């Protein structure tokens, strides 16, 4: 496969350099076309996110293509090539496909399994298509990359369970309450820390939202933001019994809610469960409150512990995902080969049929005394001989596409019968070359 | 081997496979296996029904007299209750806990004598099947409540200890499990009450007395009081969650004792035949 990827990511380059090389804000179409205008370059696509800048390309001459792309990238961003070079990675052929599949499946992401990258990749592909810089190589490869990513997502736990504090809080709330539709949320303190978690919680179509803060104005501002109601700070304990979920984050607030207070609240609530999320340091809620029946108290360390466990699960899932990707790449190659087998089968059939028809015609020409029935019988005889003879070789050829050694048979048939079928599409040439160049690498 | 026993054995096999698949589902997170397990459970349930029908046709008596028949019917009722609840509330994970319970009952049922015996003449009345069916349906619903209770305690513990795992994420939420506890209680309690009342009527027909304080009656009454207390606590006092889960589990242990322990350990009117029956 004459396919290559050249780029840098959070793994190889500091953020300053990634920023400078970012293509995001420019007119992508003209950049892409400029890339395909480079000699030998046939297709190009740019994936530019905050964690990576990568150019995917198809080129007739891989080493040369890489060198030119590299120069182009540096020049475009007005950087010295040697400044960029140490941070760049280059993959060709199968390695490049492997990289693409891993990126699509979010295995190469900073946060393992994060879902955005697939969308960004699809967008990049769409951009390349609309700029007419996507050709047969991309059109065969990209859908397979998306399919591999989908499989990884469905068959492994890579994208399951929260890996951020705010999502972990929502997920735990769901484990306690199931649906959150009629659950009331109380937000105590209005620090920056709290805001994100509060936004995720209130984004779940909860019931009433109560907000309190030492400065009432700030509480009111937040309440407006979350479509809730501001409560004076001095009175908030009175409202506790109405809240199913309480989020506290009052910095330097010290202990605001004691265990005895909560025991009374739970009694008033007739034991309806409460989920308390205390992300303040020092903590706002007495840690002993967790021992009360039907009270679930999580502080910031607890939430981080949950996230850590979830991340560990994702890393475990990633191992399985790597296997899936290997399988998908194998499948991709065997699919490519099966594409090659089809024109060969057609050509072989055509050739044999031609021979049969002309030879039968010749013979029948000399046997004029036969009546129409006899002629039909001879015609049928030759047909069935040919079909019987061809049956086995043709089925081997059909299977050759799935077989690693399939190419051998195709080559054998090509030579034995002196066949030279036209590929179905001119693009086929481009893809076909890949088999030889997949070992290529660039230093 | 008669046709009913053949069907019974096949059912046992289906339940065993379903148990394996359901466990594999929650242990290795393979929902596909769980789905196949439930298909097996449905077919096992169908075979089980056929087994009981064929037994009824062969003997002419409802197959509810011997210990084997009682165990078999109990397992049938538990699986049936689970499948119905699953249709309504989608509680796939519960299958991994309900199926083994039914399986144990089935294995026990195949270990005891499977011979068909007609109930003794005083018990040959239509009140017998009515009483036994109501009692066992109530027991089955309470079995589900107990399973939900176990899962509640398991999950509550994980939430309190802040230990999450893949099993943790597969369990239904606490709220769902607690609701299930309540639903089972409101269905099981009337069934149990009716079971006791019909039993008393039948006792009057058979023995000439509504209530004679034999051990099974006494233990059934104790169990009834426990469930009555739980229902009252839930409705009036606001018991829920952990407490309700624990009581549902204790209640089910009492039920099992009333069903099996009384027959095996204590003697009384209900242990009519040597096999021990209702």
- pLDDT for the residue numbered A26: 66
Contact A293 B173 (CB under 8 A): no
pLDDT at B153 over 80: yes
Digit-coded pLDDT (tens) for A57-103: 988 888 888 888 889 888 888 888 888 888 999 998 889 999 999 99
For A100-152, write each residue's pLDDT tens digit. Answer: 999 999 999 988 888 889 999 999 999 999 999 988 788 889 999 999 999 99
Residue B270 CA: distances (Å) to CA of A202, B136, B142? 59, 15, 22
Residues 6+ apart with CB under 8 A from B104: none
Of A157, A271, A310, the CB nearest to B240: A271
pLDDT at A304 over 70: yes
Spatial distance between the Cα atoms of B251 and B150, rounded to a whole number of angstroms = 12
- In chain A, the residue whose alpha carbon lies closest to the alpha carbon of B237 is A270
* pLDDT mean over B248-270: 80
pLDDT(B277) > 80: no
Residue % of chain B over a pLDDT of 70 = 92
The mean predicted confidence, pLDDT, of chain A is 84
User: Does any CB of chain B come closer than 8 Å to the CB of residue A294?
Assistant: yes
The C-alpha atoms of residue A39 and residue A41 are separated, in whole angstroms, by 6
Q: Quote the pLDDT of residue A406.
A: 62
Q: How far apart are CA B149 and CA B227, in angstroms?
A: 14
Chain B's closest residue to A267, CA to CA, is B238
pLDDT over 60 (residue A404):
no
How does strand A274-278 pair with strand A245-248? parallel
| B22 in Cβ contact with B37 (< 8 Å) | yes
**B96–chain A nearest CA distance, Å:** 19
Structure tokens at A264: 């009374």
Predicted confidence (pLDDT) per residue in A150-165, tens digit? 999 988 888 888 888 8
- The model carries a pTM of 0.75
Rg, C-alpha atoms of chain A: 33
Two tokens, residue B207:
């023995």
Instruction: Considering only CA atoms, give the Rg of chain B.
Output: 19
Distances, alpha carbon B194 to alpha carbons B53, B199, B202, B212, B218, in Å: 24, 8, 12, 18, 16
The CATH number given to A165-305 is 3.40.50.720
Q: What is the DSSP letter of B126?
A: T
The C-alpha atoms of residue A373 and residue A356 are separated, in whole angstroms, by 19
**Which of B158, B28, B153, B170 lies closest to B94, judged by CA?**
B170
Q: What is the pLDDT of residues A341-398, one digit of tens each?
A: 777 888 889 999 999 999 999 998 888 888 889 989 999 999 999 999 999 888 888 7
Tokens of A162: 């929260």
Q: Torsions phi, psi of A330, nearest 5? A: -60, -45
> From edge to edge, which strands make up the β-sheet containing A209-213?
A229-232, A209-213, A185-188, A245-248, A274-278, A295-299
| CATH code of domain A3-155 | 3.30.460.30
d(CA A236, CA A210): 9
Q: Do A271 and B174 touch (CB under 8 A)?
A: no
Contact status, residue A70 vs residue A21, Cβ threshold 8 Å: no
The answer, yes or no, to whether residue A427 has pLDDT greater than 60, is: no
Euclidean distance between CA atoms A159 and A157, whole angstroms: 6
Beta pairing partners, A58: A3, A43
Q: Is B250 exposed, middle or buried (0-12, 13-18, 19+ CB in 10 A)?
A: middle
> Which ranges in chain A are annotated with CATH 3.30.460.30?
3-155
ipTM reported for the complex surpasses 0.85:
no
- How far is it, in rounded angstroms, from Cα A376 to Cα A353? 16
Percent of chain A with pLDDT over 90: 28
- Report whether the peptide linkage leading into residue A282 is cis, meaning its omega lies within 30 degrees of zero: yes
What is the CB neighbour count within 10 angstroms for residue B90? Answer: 11
Q: How is the beta sheet containing A41-48 ordered, strand by strand?
A: A41-48, A52-59, A3-9, A89-92
Which residues of A are catalytically annotated? 50
Chain B interface includes A333 (CB < 8 A): no
- Predicted confidence at residue B37, as pLDDT, reads 86
Q: What is the pLDDT of residue B147?
A: 92
Q: What is the pLDDT of residue A65?
A: 86
Cβ(A143)–Cβ(B142) under 8 Å?
no
pLDDT > 70? residue A441: no
Q: Between A and B, how many residue pairs show a Cβ–Cβ distance under 8 A?
A: 59
- Where b means 16+ CB within 10 Å and e means fewer, B193-202 reads ebbbebbbeb
Identify any residues that bridge with A274 across adjacent strands, giving them in sequence order: A295
pLDDT at A407: 64
Is the model's pLDDT at B272 over the cut of 50? no
**Other beta carbons less than 10 A from residue B10's beta carbon:** 16
Distance CA A280, CA A190 (A): 11
Confidence at A436, pLDDT banded by 50, 70, 90: very low
Cβ contact, residue pair A294, B240, below 8 Å: yes
Do A287 and A259 form a contact (C-beta atoms < 8 A)?
Answer: no
Give pairs for A299-305: CB < 8 Å, separation 24+: A300/A165, A302/B162, A303/A165, A303/A168, A303/A169, A303/A277, A303/A279, A304/A165, A305/B162
- Per-position b or e across B131-145, b if 16+ CB within 10 A of its CB: bbbbbbbbbbbbbbb
Chain B: give the shortest CA distance to residue A114, in Å.
19
Strands A89-92 and A185-188: unpaired
Cross-strand pairs, A297: A276
d(CA B136, CA B145): 14
Distance CA B142, CA B253 (A): 10
Interface of B with A (CB under 8 A): 29, 155, 159-160, 162-166, 168-169, 171-176, 237-243
pLDDT tens digits for range A234-279: 888 888 888 899 988 887 777 888 899 899 999 888 888 999 998 8
User: From the CA of A176, how many Å to the nearest CA of chain B?
Assistant: 5
Tell me the mean pLDDT in the region B3-17.
Answer: 88
Is residue A338 over pLDDT 80?
no
Calculate the CA B105 to chain-centre distance.
9
Cα dihedral sign, B50-B55-B58-B63 = negative
Q: What φ, ψ does residue A43 adopt, rounded to 5°?
A: -140, 155
**Tokens matching residue A257:** 């809610």
Neighbours of B118 (CB within 10 A): 11
Q: Are the beta carbons of A2 and A51 closer than 8 angstroms?
A: no
Three-state DSSP string of chain A: CCEEEEEEECCCCCHHHHHHHCCCCCCHHHHHHHHHHCCCEEEEEEEECCCEEEEEEEECCHHHHHHHHHHHHHHHCCCCHHHHHHHCEEEEHHHHHHHHHHHHCCCCCCCCCCCHHHHHHHHHHHHHHHCCCCCHHHHHHHHHHHHHHHHHHHHCCCCCCCCCHHHHHHHHHHHHHCCCCCCCEEEECCCHHHHHHHHHHHCCCCCCEEEEECCHHHHHHHHHHCCCEEEEHHHHHHHHHHCCEEEECCCCCCCCECHHHHHHHHHHCCCCCEEEEECCCCCCECHHHHHCCCEEEEEHHHHHHHHHHHHHHHHHHHHHHHHHHHHHHHHHHHHHHHHHHHHHHHHHHHHHHHHHHHHHHHHHHHCCCCCHHHHHHHHHHHHHHHHHHHHHHHHHHHHHCCCCCHHHHHHHHHHHCCCCCCCCCHHHHHHHCHHHHCCCCCC
> Token pair 């693409």 is at which residue?
A100
Which residue of B169, B178, B181, B230 is the best one to mutate when testing the A interface, meaning the one whose CB has the most A CBs within 10 A? B169
Determine the pLDDT at residue A402: 52
pLDDT of residue A434: 40
How distant is the Cα of B252 from the closest Cα of chain A, in angstroms? 23
Tokens of A32: 């892409």
């Amino acid at each position: 496969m004459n396919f290559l990827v050249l780029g840098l990511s959070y793994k190889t380059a500091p953020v300053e350099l990634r920023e400078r090389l970012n293509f995001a804000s420019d007119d992508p179409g003209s950049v892409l076309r400029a890339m395909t205008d480079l000699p030998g370059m046939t297709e190009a696509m740019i994936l530019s996110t905050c964690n990576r800048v990568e150019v995917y390309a198809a080129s007739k001459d891989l080493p040369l293509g890489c060198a030119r792309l590299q120069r182009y990238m540096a020049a475009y961003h007005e950087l010295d090539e040697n400044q960029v070079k140490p941070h760049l990675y280059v993959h060709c052929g199968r390695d490049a496909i492997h990289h693409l599949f891993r990126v699509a499946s979010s295995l190469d992401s900073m946060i393992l399994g994060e879902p955005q990258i697939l969308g960004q990749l699809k967008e990049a592909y769409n951009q390349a298509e609309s700029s007419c810089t996507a050709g047969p190589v991309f059109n065969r490869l990209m859908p397979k990359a998306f399919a591999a990513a989908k499989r990884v997502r469905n068959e492994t736990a890579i994208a399951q369970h929260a890996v951020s504090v705010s999502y972990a809080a929502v997920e735990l709330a769901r484990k306690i309450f199931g649906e959150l539709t009629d659950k009331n949320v109380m937000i105590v303190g209005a620090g920056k820390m709290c805001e994100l978690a509060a936004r995720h919680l209130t984004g779940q179509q909860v019931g009433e939202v109560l907000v309190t803060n030492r400065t009432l104005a700030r509480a009111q501002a937040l309440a407006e933001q979350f479509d809730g109601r501001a409560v004076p700070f001095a009175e908030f304990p009175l409202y506790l019994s109405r809240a199913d979920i309480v989020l506290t984050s009052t910095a330097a607030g010290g202990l605001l809610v004691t265990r005895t207070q909560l025991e009374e609240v739970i009694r008033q609530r007739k034991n309806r469960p409460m989920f308390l999320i205390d992300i303040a340091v020092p903590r706002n809620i007495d840690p002993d409150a967790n021992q009360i029946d039907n009270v679930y108290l999580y502080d910031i360390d607890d939430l981080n512990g949950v996230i850590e466990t979830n991340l560990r699960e994702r890393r475990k899932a990633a191992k399985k995902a790597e296997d899936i990707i290997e399988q998908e790449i194998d499948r991709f190659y065997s699919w490519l080969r099966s594409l090659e087998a089809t024109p060969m089968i057609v050509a072989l059939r055509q050739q044999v049929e031609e021979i049969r028809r002309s030879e039968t015609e010749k013979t029948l020409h000399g046997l004029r005394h036969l009546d129409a029935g006899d002629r039909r019988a001879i015609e049928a005889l030759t047909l069935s001989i040919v079909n019987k003879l061809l049956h086995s070789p043709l089925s081997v050829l059909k299977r050759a596409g799935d077989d690693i050694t399939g190419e051998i048979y195709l080559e054998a048939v090509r030579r034995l019968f002196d066949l030279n079928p036209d590929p179905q599409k001119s693009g086929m040439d481009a893809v076909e070359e890949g088999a030889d160049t997949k070992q290529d690498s660039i230093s | 081997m008669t046709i009913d026993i053949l069907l019974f054995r096949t059912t046992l096999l289906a339940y065993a496979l379903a148990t394996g698949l359901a466990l594999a589902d929650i242990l290795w997170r393979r929902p596909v296996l769980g789905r196949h397990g439930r298909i097996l459970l449905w077919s096992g349930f169908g075979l089980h029904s056929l087994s009981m029908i064929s037994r009824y046709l062969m003997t002419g008596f409802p197959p509810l007299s011997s210990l084997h028949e009682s165990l078999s019917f109990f397992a049938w009722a538990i699986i049936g209750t689970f499948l119905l609840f699953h249709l309504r509330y989608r509680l796939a994970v519960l299958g991994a806990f309900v199926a083994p319970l039914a399986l144990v009952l089935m294995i026990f049922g195949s270990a005891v004598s499977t011979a068909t015996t007609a109930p003794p003449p005083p018990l040959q009345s239509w009140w017998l099947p009515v009483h036994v069916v109501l009692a066992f349906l109530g027991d089955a619903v309470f079995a589900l409540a107990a399973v939900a209770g176990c899962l509640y305690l398991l999950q509550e513990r994980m939430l309190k200890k802040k230990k999450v795992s893949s099993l943790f994420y597969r369990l239904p939420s606490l709220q769902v499990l607690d609701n299930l506890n309540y639903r089972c209680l409101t269905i099981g309690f009337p069934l149990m009450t009716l079971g006791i009342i019909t039993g008393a009527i039948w006792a009057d027909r058979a023995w000439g007395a509504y209530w004679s304080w034999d051990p099974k009656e006494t233990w059934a009454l104790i169990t009834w009081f426990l469930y009555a207390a739980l229902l009252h606590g839930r409705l009036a006092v606001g018991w829920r969650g952990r407490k309700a889960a624990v009581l549902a589990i204790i209640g089910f242990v009492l039920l099992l004792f009333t069903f099996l322990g009384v027959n095996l350990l204590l003697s009384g009117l209900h242990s009519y035949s040597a096999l021990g029956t209702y």
